[in-house]
Structure 1
């Protein structure tokens, strides 16, 4: 129906309306003709009343038993049905025109007046029911009222001539009203169908946008996974190489290699943050937050960078408290400050907090390049950057403000932006105020989370590390790199490629009395096998018997899979895994209470 031309859809509605009215009033018209015939026969005793009644009943019955329009009729056939109903009502109009020639006797004004009232009422009814089709409206009313007017004028006396003139004026006014209502009805239908068409197009655009967003998410997740796999292997080989070359001149190049790997991993982790927020796996822990304790580490984080660019950074203490998640709020402000310093060449950046009633405004102001009005709605899009056509990597990926917007929705902290091109930008975060607490929250915040993290090498003889580790990964390079890294730290590592080999290794270890202390499993195994399910089976969690700690390692970033991992409760590390994070997690799991298989 949406592909049907607009004029055919309008005509179809007109035809449907006319047929509905005639079908609904069929019985009423039959009863009315019988009552009118009986009344006129009693008043006049004219035998012509009977043929008049029979004629109308015959026409009504023919109309009832002949095929009638129904909603299944195609819109393209509407014109034929419109012509058909026009012919029928025109024939009825000529039949009604016979009434005044039969029921207007000379000198009987009461009967004449009664007939006029009946026919004028019939005219009004016809205008109401036939207005959707102008041809049917004129085809019915003109013969019917024309017959009355001519019959009245035929009497030639002043009373009948007056009545004829009155009926003529009434007919003209009713036809004018009918034409106006027809136009209004047609316009309303056109407007309705145009709105429906706009709604359909809008729904299609929304669906296309959603598909594009889903495809973008799938593409990023797939690209991220495919990039993380070899990068993870490079990071593992590099860490092992760096460990072996420590203290030797060649170790400098190994350190440079790891810095480059860590920088690339940081970029991939930034995209992972988007996926984690979209997946809903980030749950805010709202509490009272002391802003001064939050501003202090932010000032330490960005002061060196501001000094390097010869900019002034002012982070002003306020003594205010807000209700928020300290870590997520810190990430929001960190991204805003990072963005401000990127686009400021002269002047500086100011961070302040002010109390406004029940709310607190945290404002980040800069004297940078500003944002043009036409770009203000795009700055929160992923990968969109102002004045960076060359995609200078030192200015980031263009994801920081997108993360700010997602955190704003997650925390319920509206973000407002005002900017003047060439004069600077002002971001405002609106937070609910909180009552001061007895203890400071300064200890809850890392001192420099946004700065590049130096890798802390675990000691080879750390007693907290597991003694034996079973690795399940279908990538041979990763198996080789991981076993090399673990063995270089005095860990007995055994790597397998599939579930069957892992089950055999676990069974052999159990029979030898040398059980594994940790099972490390990749999320995506060969042939699409789900590593989480495999790991849960191998670790014994689903059997209810003795279990082995399970650590999931993955390059997956798709929101649905991230949500599934979160719901499983299994610890997870994302590729490429930094060695300090890997050994810290292994030590934590090894020190927790567990039963070995």
Structure 2
């Protein structure tokens, strides 16, 4: 397949470099030419006293005017853009120069001295051969430099018509032919090198541009998902809380099953949003890995407990082979990674089962999740780790999830530095292999401290809570839920109103025990800063809990850095009560400085 022709921009850059090379060699070549010409003329005039030499020297002296031409090129600020103009000027100058040398044999070729004739011939042919490399970048310049000069020499020799001069003319023809051949080869080599160089630079620029476009698209996708997730979480948070209140009030009523179905649907949607939140948190870098020596048995048993019900519901066998091996990893993150792999295997295995096993291989442990499912064709092996890509779900069946599970696996594997490899055959099942560093079991295993019985149950919920959220539906839902738990509430739409509520409660001798605040308030107000100021104004007495639907990586990072406890909407009622209980049992410390 022939190479594609260079683009117009590449041709322009090649011409610019060619012209620059031509003018770069002109000062030195002009000085050498003047010394050679005047030395030759002095010798010939001393020997022949031919007046034609003086005439020719007058014509040749004009070559000294090359220097102003050279300076004009280098002083031209638009020289690069006007390369074609300067190429024509250089060609015309070379043509005059070559014609001048071509006239020399006609004006003063020694007819009666063969040594002087040979000296003049060798000088001109040597000048022709020696000067070709300096003009080779441009083929028109090569022709302008070589042809007039050598044609003048050859015709002057042939004009003498004797055997010696005809032989010398034939030799000059052969020399010129060889010179032009090698000059053309050198010109093609230089042009090809420049063209290849600029095409590679253009390809690199295009690749960098595509990388930038891809990065921008990724950033825009992240911002879109963060905004969409936030807008979905806000009403879902209120629905979940109102649903709990409704389920409580309909207890024992004929409509209670409807409320239960409503909560199952809400929990399913909440699970999908939480999966998207996992992606945002991993992208934001707010999930730190804390590697340590971990018994793999405990992780495998935890994953088995999580996945057993799901496998049983699909009539699949879930076999987990425990092992005494220890690995160096973060146990919570490894459990999430392995749970996602097992969940994915169960989802795409219609019959048969899923096997999880670990084996030591040198300094590593290979942890395999093997299924007898539908399998994955080789062309999809990389794409299944992308967000929302599902090979066997073209209709986007919600029962098969969002297609984010393996994307989270890839992110966790990079965070933990546990490479994940896929081997699969369509119709025969798949095997996902996680490679973990082997660790030595400690000589004496630590004895876990027993948690005091009923510690959480004995925790006291706050009695008086201030809700700061600009959406009335959410504050109404929170208030209705908390009142059902015996917690008095007051709500505010902005920081100013919250400050008034805080001062009134303090003056009435009923200070707030806790402050629940949304991250994003009306008119772009920062809920974290507002909550910290309110807490500081109250003397750090109320515990602070941030509730947000934000999933933007930079905001997740900021919340993480603040050290303020945070729950993500929609909040499970049990988790909310647990967080409030933890607030009430934690002594208030100095509040972080608002940012």
TM above 0.5 = yes
8 Å CA contact 1:293–1:442 kept in 2: the answer is: no
CA distance in 2, matches of 1:544, 1:29: 93
Q: Which residue does the alignment assign to 1:60?
A: 64
CA distance in 2, matches of 1:397, 1:53: 88
CA distance in 2, matches of 1:555, 1:50: 95
Q: Which residue does the alignment assign to 2:580?
A: 586
2:218 to 200, 213, 237: 213
> In the TM superposition, what is the alpha-carbon distance from 1:52 to its structure 2 partner?
3.1
CA distance in 2, matches of 1:586, 1:311: 40
Q: Which residue does the alignment assign to 2:25?
A: 21
1:357-368 → structure 2 map (5 Å cutoff): 357-368=362-373
8 Å CA contact 2:79–2:86 kept in 1: the answer is: no
Question: Which stretch of the first structure deviates more once superposed, 497-506 or 189-198?
Answer: 189-198
Matched, 1:507 2:507: no
CA RMSD, Structure 1 to Structure 2 (Å): 3.1
Question: Which stretch of the first structure deviates more once superposed, 2-11 or 474-483?
Answer: 2-11
Matched, 1:127 2:132: yes
Question: Which stretch of the first structure deviates more once superposed, 83-92 or 25-34?
Answer: 25-34
Q: Which residue does the alignment assign to 2:3?
A: none
> In the TM superposition, what is the alpha-carbon distance from 1:574 to its structure 2 partner?
0.5
1:231-270 → structure 2 map (5 Å cutoff): 231-246=236-251, 250-270=255-275
> In the TM superposition, what is the alpha-carbon distance from 1:168 to its structure 2 partner?
2.1
1:560 to 521, 529, 554: 554
> In the TM superposition, what is the alpha-carbon distance from 1:339 to its structure 2 partner?
0.9
1:70-469 → structure 2 map (5 Å cutoff): 73=78, 78-101=83-106, 104-106=109-111, 108=113, 111-155=116-160, 160-246=165-251, 250-438=255-443, 463-469=459-465
SS of alignment partner, residue 57 of structure 2: helix
Q: Which residue does the alignment assign to 1:536?
A: 532
CA distance in 2, matches of 1:317, 1:337: 15
8 Å CA contact 2:316–2:353 kept in 1: the answer is: yes
Question: Which stretch of the first structure deviates more once superposed, 35-44 or 47-56?
Answer: 35-44
8 Å CA contact 2:465–2:516 kept in 1: the answer is: yes
CA distance in 1, matches of 2:41, 2:539: 96
Q: Which residue does the alignment assign to 2:543?
A: 549
Q: Which residue does the alignment assign to 1:487?
A: 483
Gaps of 5+ in 2: 1-5
8 Å CA contact 1:288–1:435 kept in 2: the answer is: yes
1:264-290 Cα shifts (integer Å, max 9, x gaps)? 111100000010111111110001121
CA distance in 2, matches of 1:547, 1:138: 93
Q: Which residue does the alignment assign to 2:563?
A: 569
SS of alignment partner, residue 383 of structure 1: coil
1:70-107 Cα shifts (integer Å, max 9, x gaps)? 77548785444433322221111011223344564245
8 Å CA contact 2:302–2:335 kept in 1: the answer is: no
> In the TM superposition, what is the alpha-carbon distance from 1:582 to its structure 2 partner?
0.9
8 Å CA contact 1:548–1:595 kept in 2: the answer is: no
Q: Which residue does the alignment assign to 1:447?
A: none
1:528-555 Cα shifts (integer Å, max 9, x gaps)? 1111221222222xx8964643211110
CA shift in 2, pair 1:177/1:596, >3 Å: closer
1:517 to 513, 517, 534: 513
8 Å CA contact 1:371–1:419 kept in 2: the answer is: yes
> In the TM superposition, what is the alpha-carbon distance from 1:383 to its structure 2 partner?
0.8
CA shift in 2, pair 1:385/1:591, >3 Å: same
8 Å CA contact 2:518–2:547 kept in 1: the answer is: yes
2:472 to 468, 476, 487: 476
> In the TM superposition, what is the alpha-carbon distance from 1:65 to its structure 2 partner?
4.2
> In the TM superposition, what is the alpha-carbon distance from 1:333 to its structure 2 partner?
1.0
CA distance in 2, matches of 1:133, 1:260: 76
> In the TM superposition, what is the alpha-carbon distance from 1:526 to its structure 2 partner?
0.6
CA distance in 1, matches of 2:506, 2:30: 90
Q: How many residues align?
A: 581
> In the TM superposition, what is the alpha-carbon distance from 1:162 to its structure 2 partner?
4.1
CA distance in 2, matches of 1:516, 1:227: 30
> In the TM superposition, what is the alpha-carbon distance from 1:596 to its structure 2 partner?
11
8 Å CA contact 1:63–1:88 kept in 2: the answer is: no
SS of alignment partner, residue 15 of structure 1: helix
SS of alignment partner, residue 469 of structure 1: strand
8 Å CA contact 2:463–2:488 kept in 1: the answer is: yes
Q: Which residue does the alignment assign to 1:455?
A: none
SS of alignment partner, residue 370 of structure 1: coil
Gaps of 5+ in 1: 445-457
> In the TM superposition, what is the alpha-carbon distance from 1:44 to its structure 2 partner?
5.3
CA shift in 2, pair 1:167/1:479, >3 Å: same
